[in-house]
């Protein structure tokens, strides 16, 4: 080697990261990201800066001044609130200098001047940022000897949340959350100076679907949630990370219990999914798991009705029913409905039992309120992709009511101007306020409306701007899925590159369908199964956590199906309207009583924690299936839930990477691949004559209804709004009845009586009835065979 | 009590049209409501929320920040007597005592006939004229017990009606801004033309 040679070596290309900002934090050099706030950069560098008002998922407001640190940008060190300023090159930050410490101690002393320090009786004590930071960053004593502020204790700002005003440190987290994140600016600071307080307007409570989040992020014990207040001390709680399965968004949660009783769910920040937020329905649904009405033993029907029995005799009875059914009508006279409320493992074991052991193709995880399963075979979008797409097309139910945290994510995309929302809906939804365009359609006509809209130059220009994600689901239960399916196919024909995010609602519906709870070759879908049962062609109907009587839109069909099925086996956590009719009922382990995995709408598989002991002798669904299979002569080989998880990875298309090991190391779960599904054929939408006297019926769900999990959660049950028929204010004159009066709502098939109400989110010529509420059952009017439902509304 | 009357809704729309965003009209509309009813009623707050696209809680939060908006009925005449340094030195406290006796009420309350509300005020920025008071924010300087009594007599007899309108009326003459001189409902970022009052004549070369 010669020197000349070495001189010829080209210097390595220096790659300068344009986003890197070099700063000095507590004497150490650190490379921060451009735009990072000082507080964030310091945290990344391992220097914790105390704070109260700063929250990673909300904008900075600089309310509390706790984060003051000395910052030198070249003009000499000065105190700056580190949550308000981004890093700049060469910045020198001292988080623990005498000046920083003095500032932080001063703020703590000020905040405590009026704070009651009633930690021993405060729910937050033990997990309270104010308590913790008073210890770690406070002066340890106070110069204030004056009387502290007093307020009436506590005031209810909603049905779920209580406020102890004297504990509030005015950090603006709850009010900011309500306005910025939830879009429900129903709590505000009122008054000023020493009397500033968080309040609601009289008679307008903080009835946000997301109110529980304010309790979680309040840095003191000012906000408490009624279902948890005075139930436990934080140091008595044990917790395990899990995923909410109340709906199919799949928010990450921390499930907390004490003495083997579920006491609280807290949101865990999963970046691709829930950003730390939960909806109140998911957050407080643990009450249902703890309900005294839970089934504890298997039941068999005798002459005296349901009688408790042993697992052995219930299994024997079920096996006899299955073999008798096969003997009477062949395997295909057996049908299995459900699976969407359990884990992937539950669904997979039942799918194996149904398809491979019993040998029936008649399996469905949906209950006449979903879409053809082919929607899962489309080019699937993730929630992140949806909320960063240039255009989000909604052909979906009201996401605020059905998939609440997805609503938060899409709302964020719209208000932060990342995305424009084009909404197709029969009635205004929670996202209408944020939509760039909302196109209302009369149920049944959506495919035409979609095509006409796509032809508009302005819409076409928007769609050409970048990625398009279509959120697809059923906006109206009073019409068949044909109209929505046809509209979805029309969208995809025009936008072949568009991705689809399915808005199907039951907790694990995507997982259940993906792992096999769907019809086999020439099998029946859910409506087909119900029709066959009603016609007396189903020898044995198995309900796996399914309650068709409450959940199938066509109430009459569901009733006839359960009456017509010769034998019924139910696996359920409660006696429901449907399981009441079963010959054998197996008590099922509920959420947090079993381990496993679940799949959200994107196909993201996450783990479920087994936190508390099962209720009574109940067992996870997969175990019930494995046992029945065994008794029917097939060993599925499932000795533990891990065996089932492994079997899914080995057998299910798209789930190859979803192993227990992979899940353990993946904080945000594992995205399963899209399996192969039969493509959807374009349905015909057979609309009859439109009689202009009639109203076209729109039926959709509210967040709180009479669903079994909600009615058994006392805090949530009372939030269900109750039934009524809503029309546009300008249509009220046509009816000849006053608002509040009872009216007859009828189709040729049935008549029900509901009270009349107006709502300007309802379109003219249509009538809206919320599904599954107290009062008359609107399902009586719905005909699963009809494309749409037209009703006559008359005064009594 | 009441929402804005039909006439006032018309005024409200005119006010709203002056601003790029409806919410900017919140404060002027609160004045309008206070002018209508003498104080800001809950119904008016709700109504203003509807008009500007805010929740009632947001309007309440904004309104309660300001001391000059009242949320309970006040007398036709709101009498504020200054108690800050200069006035205190020049007999402000004695004046308040006298006022309380004369009106038969304590500071912070309203006479049973609904005519007078008496309040303490902080510095009214007229220290050279101490002690001062304001009636519906109209000044009276170097007030003595005698001139106070005379003032109350005049107010009660309606002799000052032309000078001092009932509480809530900021000015009797409402400014009308012709549409072309308003900013209009165009958010700043979308404005293509600056409004006329913002166009600055170019400096001569
Ligand atoms: S109630 Fe809690 S979250 Fe809300 S402002 Fe007060 S301290 Fe902050
Ligand atoms: S949005 Fe769905 S998954 Fe998330 S907390 Fe609510 S119910 Fe649970
Ligand atoms: S955390 Fe920075 S001011 Fe509150």
Choose one of A442, A469, A502: the last residue of a domain: A502
Instruction: Report d(CA A177, CA A210) in Å as an integer.
Output: 9
Q: Which of B45, B57, B64 sits opposite A200 (nearest CB)?
A: B57
| A249-306 pLDDT per residue, tens | 999 999 999 999 999 999 999 999 999 999 999 999 999 999 999 999 999 999 999 9
Over residues A499-522, the mean pLDDT reads: 96
Over residues A198-203, the mean pLDDT reads: 96
What is the least distance, in Å, from the CA of B56 to any CA of chain A?
6
How many other C-beta atoms lie within 10 A of the C-beta of residue B189? 6
Domain check: are A528 and A494 in the same one? no
Pocket, ligand 2, Cβ cutoff 6 A = A 244, 246-247, 249-251, 274, 278-279, 281-282, 403-405
- Residues of B with CB below 8 A from A202's CB? 42
Q: How many domains does chain A have?
A: 4
- What is the predicted ipTM? 0.90
Alpha carbon distances (Å) from A31 to A80, A93, B9 = 20, 13, 57
- Residues of B with CB below 8 A from A204's CB? 55-57
Residue B186 has what pLDDT? 61
Asked whether residue A212 is domain-assigned, the answer is no
| A663-708 pLDDT per residue, tens | 999 999 999 999 889 889 999 888 888 888 899 999 999 999 999 9
Q: For B6-71, CATH number?
A: 1.10.10.1590
pLDDT level of residue A1 (50, 70, 90 thresholds): very low
Place of tokens 């004590």: A125
Instruction: Report d(CA A54, CA A60) in Å as an integer.
Output: 6
Ligand 2 atom closest to Cα of residue A243: 3
Domain ranges of chain B: 6-71, 77-156
pLDDT level of residue B201 (50, 70, 90 thresholds): low
CATH number of the domain at A453, please: 3.40.228.10
Share of chain A above pLDDT 90, in %: 94
CA A780 distance to own-chain centroid: 28
What is the least distance, in Å, from the CA of B173 to any CA of chain A?
30
pLDDT level of residue A6 (50, 70, 90 thresholds): very low
Domain check: are A462 and A598 in the same one? no
User: Which residue spans within A400-477 are E strands per DSSP?
Assistant: 420-425, 437-440, 468-472
Domain check: are A409 and A445 in the same one? yes
Asked if B56 lies within 8 A of A201 by C-beta distance, the reply is yes
Whether pLDDT at A3 is above 70: no
Over residues B137-149, the mean pLDDT reads: 97
Q: Output DSSP code: residue A122.
A: -
Over residues A617-635, the mean pLDDT reads: 98
Residue A18 has what pLDDT? 87
| A168-177 pLDDT per residue, tens | 999 999 999 9
- Domain span at residue A515 reads 299-370+508-671
Domain check: are A789 and A665 in the same one? no
Asked if B55 lies within 8 A of A192 by C-beta distance, the reply is no
Residue B183 has what pLDDT? 59
How many other C-beta atoms lie within 10 A of the C-beta of residue B108? 9
CATH number of the domain at A770, please: 2.40.40.20
Domain check: are A660 and A576 in the same one? yes
Residue A158 has what pLDDT? 96
- Is the distance from the beta carbon of residue A169 to the nearest atom of ligand 1 less than 6 Å? yes
pLDDT level of residue A537 (50, 70, 90 thresholds): very high
Whether pLDDT at B205 is above 80: no
Residue A366: both structure tokens together? 């949906």
H or E, element range at A339: none
Asked whether residue A93 is domain-assigned, the answer is yes
Instruction: Report d(CA A452, CA A460) in Å as an integer.
Output: 11
Residue B175 has what pLDDT? 81
Domain check: are A497 and A522 in the same one? no
Q: Which of A185, A191, A192 sits opposite B57 (nearest CB)?
A: A185
| B82-106 pLDDT per residue, tens | 999 999 999 999 999 999 999 999 9
| A412-439 pLDDT per residue, tens | 999 999 999 999 999 999 999 999 999 9
Asked whether residue A472 is domain-assigned, the answer is yes
- Bridge partners (DSSP) of residue A394 are A423, A471
Share of chain A above pLDDT 70, in %: 98
Q: Which fold has domain B77-156?
A: Glutaredoxin (3.40.30)
Residue A71 has what pLDDT? 98
Residue A315 has what pLDDT? 98
| A230-241 pLDDT per residue, tens | 999 999 999 999
| B8-30 pLDDT per residue, tens | 999 999 998 888 888 999 999 99
Domain check: are A481 and A514 in the same one? no
Asked whether residue A458 is domain-assigned, the answer is yes
> Which-ligand-closest: CA of A604?
2
> Which-ligand-closest: CA of A55?
3
Whether pLDDT at A9 is above 70: no
Instruction: Report d(CA A266, CA A244) in Å as an integer.
Output: 10
Q: Output DSSP code: residue A373.
A: G
Whether pLDDT at A619 is above 70: yes
Ligand 3 atom closest to Cα of residue A65: 3
DSSP letter string, A221-285: TTEEETTTTTT--GGG-EEEEEE--SSTT--EEEEEEETTEEEEEEE---TTTTTT---HHHHHT
Instruction: Report d(CA B84, CA B93) in Å as an integer.
Output: 10
Residue B82 has what pLDDT? 97
Mean pLDDT score across all residues of chain A:
95
Whether pLDDT at B203 is above 60: no
Query: What is the best residue among A175, A188, A189, A191 to mutate for testing ligand 1's pocket, by most ligand atoms within 8 Å of CB?
Result: A175
pTM (2 d.p.): 0.94
Residue A588 has what pLDDT? 98
* Least confident among A8-22, A321-335, A782-796, B142-156: A8-22
H or E, element range at A155: strand A155-156
| A86-119 pLDDT per residue, tens | 999 999 999 999 999 999 999 999 999 999 999 9
Domain check: are A439 and A541 in the same one? no
Assess A190–B contact: CB distance below 8 Å, yes or no: yes
Residue A166 has what pLDDT? 95
DSSP letter string, A41-90: HHHHTT-----SS--TTS-----S-TTEEEEESSS-EEEEETTT-B--TT
Phi/psi at A306 (5° precision): -70, 135
Q: What's the gap in Å between A171 CA and the centre of ligand 3?
A: 8
Asked whether residue A688 is domain-assigned, the answer is no
Domain check: are A520 and A642 in the same one? yes
Alpha carbon distances (Å) from A758 to A729, A730, A737, A766, B178 = 5, 9, 11, 11, 38
Contact between A461 and A766 under an 8 Å Cβ cutoff? The reply is no
pLDDT level of residue B181 (50, 70, 90 thresholds): low
Domain check: are A634 and A659 in the same one? yes
* Helices and strands of chain A, counted as H and E runs: 26, 34
Over residues A118-125, the mean pLDDT reads: 95
Over residues B152-178, the mean pLDDT reads: 91
- Residues of B with CB below 8 A from A191's CB? 64-65
> Which-ligand-closest: CA of A111?
1
Residue A685 has what pLDDT? 87
Residue A690 has what pLDDT? 86
Domain check: are A31 and A84 in the same one? yes
- Is the distance from the beta carbon of residue A173 to the nearest atom of ligand 1 less than 6 Å? yes
Choose one of A111, A138, A163: the last residue of a domain: A111
- Is the distance from the beta carbon of residue A222 to the nearest atom of ligand 1 less than 6 Å? yes
Choose one of A671, A704, A719: the last residue of a domain: A671
Asked whether residue A690 is domain-assigned, the answer is no
Residue A687 has what pLDDT? 87
DSSP letter string, B125-173: S-GGG-S-EEETTEEE-S--HHHHHHHHHHHHHTTTTTTSPPTT-S-SS
Asked if A188 lies within 8 A of B57 by C-beta distance, the reply is yes
Whether pLDDT at B1 is above 60: no
Asked whether residue A728 is domain-assigned, the answer is yes
pLDDT level of residue B191 (50, 70, 90 thresholds): low
Instruction: Report d(CA A92, CA A265) in Å as an integer.
Output: 40
Give SS3 for B89.
Answer: helix
How many other C-beta atoms lie within 10 A of the C-beta of residue B101? 10
By CA distance, what is A185's nearest residue in B? B55
Instruction: Report d(CA A569, CA A547) in Å as an integer.
Output: 12
Q: What's the gap in Å between A505 CA and the centre of ligand 2?
A: 10
pLDDT level of residue B171 (50, 70, 90 thresholds): confident
What is the least distance, in Å, from the CA of B48 to any CA of chain A?
13
pLDDT level of residue A2 (50, 70, 90 thresholds): very low
Give SS3 for B59.
Answer: helix
How many other C-beta atoms lie within 10 A of the C-beta of residue A77? 16
Q: Which of A184, A190, A204 sits opposite B61 (nearest CB)?
A: A190
Name, in order, each residue with C-beta under 8 angstroms of B158's C-beta and a sequence gap of 6 or more: none
Contact between B138 and B164 under an 8 Å Cβ cutoff? The reply is yes
Contact between A296 and A617 under an 8 Å Cβ cutoff? The reply is yes
Over residues A476-487, the mean pLDDT reads: 96
Residue A691 has what pLDDT? 85
CATH number of the domain at A48, please: 3.10.20.740
Contact between A698 and A478 under an 8 Å Cβ cutoff? The reply is yes
Domain check: are A472 and A538 in the same one? no
């Amino acid at each position: 080697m010669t020197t000349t040679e070495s001189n010829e070596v080209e210097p390595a290309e220096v790659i300068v990261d344009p986003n890197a900002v070099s700063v000095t934090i507590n004497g150490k050099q650190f490379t921060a990201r451009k735009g990072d706030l000082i507080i964030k950069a310091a945290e990344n560098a391992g220097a914790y800066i105390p704070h109260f008002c700063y929250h990673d998922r909300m904008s900075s407001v600089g309310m509390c001044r706790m984060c003051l640190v000395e910052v030198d940008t070249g003009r000499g060190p000065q105190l700056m609130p580190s949550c308000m300023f981004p890093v700049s090159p060469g910045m020198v930050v001292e988080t623990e200098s005498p000046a920083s410490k003095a500032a932080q101690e001063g703020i703590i002393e000020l905040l405590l001047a009026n704070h009651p320090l009633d930690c021993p009786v405060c729910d937050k004590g033990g997990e309270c940022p104010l308590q913790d930071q008073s210890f770690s960053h406070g002066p340890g004593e106070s110069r204030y000897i004056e009387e502290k502020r007093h307020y009436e204790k506590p005031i209810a700002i909603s049905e779920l949340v209580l406020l102890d005003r004297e504990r509030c440190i005015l950090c603006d987290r709850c009010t900011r959350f309500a306005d910025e994140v939830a879009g429900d600016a129903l709590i505000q600071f009122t008054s000023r100076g020493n009397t500033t307080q968080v309040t609601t307007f009289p008679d307008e409570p903080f009835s946000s679907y997301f109110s529980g989040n304010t309790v979680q992020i309040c840095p003191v014990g000012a906000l408490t949630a009624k279902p948890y207040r005075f139930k436990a001390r934080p140091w008595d709680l044990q917790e395990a990370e899990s995923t909410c399965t109340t709906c199919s968004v799949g928010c990450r949660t921390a499930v907390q219990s004490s003495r083997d009783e579920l006491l609280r769910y807290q949101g865990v920040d999963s970046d691709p999914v829930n950003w730390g937020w939960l909806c109140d329905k998911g957050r407080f649904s643990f009450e249902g798991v703890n309900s005294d009405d839970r089934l504890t033993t298997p039941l068999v029907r005798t002459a005296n009705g349901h009688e408790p029995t042993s697992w052995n005799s219930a299994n024997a009875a079920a096996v006899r029913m299955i073999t008798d059914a096969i003997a009477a009508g062949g395997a295909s006279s057996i049908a299995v409905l459900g699976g969407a409320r359990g884990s992937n493992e539950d669904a997979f074991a039942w799918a194996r039992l149904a398809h491979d052991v019993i040998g029936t193709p008649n399996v469905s995880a949906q209950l006449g309120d979903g879409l053809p399963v082919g929607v899962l075979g489309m080019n699937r979008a993730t929630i992140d992709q949806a909320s960063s797409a240039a255009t989000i097309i909604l052909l979906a139910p009201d996401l605020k009511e059905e998939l609440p945290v997805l609503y938060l994510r899409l709302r964020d995309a719209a208000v932060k101007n990342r995305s424009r929302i084009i909404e197709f809906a029969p009635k205004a939804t929670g996202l209408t306020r944020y939509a760039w365009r909302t196109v209302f359609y009369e149920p049944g006509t959506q495919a035409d409306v979609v095509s006409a809209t796509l032809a508009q130059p302005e819409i076409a220009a928007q769609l050409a701007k970048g990625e398009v994600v279509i959120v697809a689901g059923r906006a109206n239960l009073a019409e068949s899925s044909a109209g929505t399916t046809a509209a979805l196919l029309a969208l995809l024909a025009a936008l072949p590159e568009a991705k689809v995010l399915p808005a199907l609602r039951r907790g694990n519906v995507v997982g259940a369908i993906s792992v096999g709870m769907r019809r086999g070759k020439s099998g029946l879908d859910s409506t087909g199964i119900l029709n066959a049962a009603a016609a007396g062609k189903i020898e044995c109907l198995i309900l796996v956590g399914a309650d068709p009587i409450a959940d199938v839109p066509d109430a009459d069909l569901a009733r006839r199906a359960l009456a017509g099925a010769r034998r019924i086996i139910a696996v359920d956590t409660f006696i429901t309207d449907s399981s009441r009719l079963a010959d054998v009922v197996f008590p099922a382990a509920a959420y947090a009583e079993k381990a496993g995995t679940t799949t959200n709408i994107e196909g993201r598989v996450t783990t479920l924690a087994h936190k508390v002991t099962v209720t009574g002798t109940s067992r996870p669904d997969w175990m019930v299936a494995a046992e029945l299979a065994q008794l029917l002569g097939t060993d599925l080989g499932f000795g533990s839930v891990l065996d089932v998880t492994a079997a899914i990875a080995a057998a299910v298309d798209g789930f190859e990477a979803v192993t227990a090991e992979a899940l353990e190391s993946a904080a945000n779960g594992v995205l399963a691949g899209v399996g192969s599904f039969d493509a959807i054929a374009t349905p015909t939408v057979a609309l009859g004559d439109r009689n202009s006297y009639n109203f076209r019926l729109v039926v959709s769900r509210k967040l709180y209804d009479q669903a079994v999990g909600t009615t058994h959660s006392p805090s949530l049950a009372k939030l269900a709004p109750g039934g009524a028929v809503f029309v546009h204010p300008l249509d009220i004159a046509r009816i000849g009845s006053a608002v509040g009066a009872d009216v007859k709502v009828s189709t040729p098939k049935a008549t029900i009586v509901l009270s009349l109400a107006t709502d300007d989110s309802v379109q003219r010529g249509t009538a809206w009835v919320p599904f599954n509420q107290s009062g008359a059952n609107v399902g009586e009017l719905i005909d699963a065979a009809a494309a749409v439902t037209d009703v006559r509304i008359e005064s009594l | 009590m009441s929402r804005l009357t039909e006439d006032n809704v018309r005024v409200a729309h005119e006010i709203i049209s002056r601003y790029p965003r409806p919410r900017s009209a919140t404060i002027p509309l609160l004045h309008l409501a206070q002018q209508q009813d003498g104080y800001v009623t809950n119904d008016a707050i709700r109504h203003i929320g509807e008009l500007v696209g805010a929740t009632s809680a947001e309007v309440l939060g904004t309104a309660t920040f300001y001391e000059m908006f009242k949320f309970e009925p006040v007398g036709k005449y709101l009498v504020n007597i200054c108690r800050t340094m200069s006035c205190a030195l020049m007999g402000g406290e004695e004046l308040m005592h006298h006022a309380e006796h004369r009106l038969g009420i304590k500071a912070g309350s309203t006479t049973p006939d609904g005519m007078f509300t008496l309040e303490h005020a902080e510095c009214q920025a007229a220290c050279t004229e101490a002690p001062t008071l304001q009636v519906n924010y109209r000044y009276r300087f170097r007030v003595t017990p005698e001139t106070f009594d005379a003032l109350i007599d005049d107010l009660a007899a309606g002799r000052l009606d032309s000078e001092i309108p009932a509480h809530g009326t900021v000015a009797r003459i409402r400014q009308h801004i012709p549409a072309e001189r308003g900013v209009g409902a165009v958010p700043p970022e979308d404005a293509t033309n600056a409004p006329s009052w913002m166009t600055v004549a170019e400096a001569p070369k």
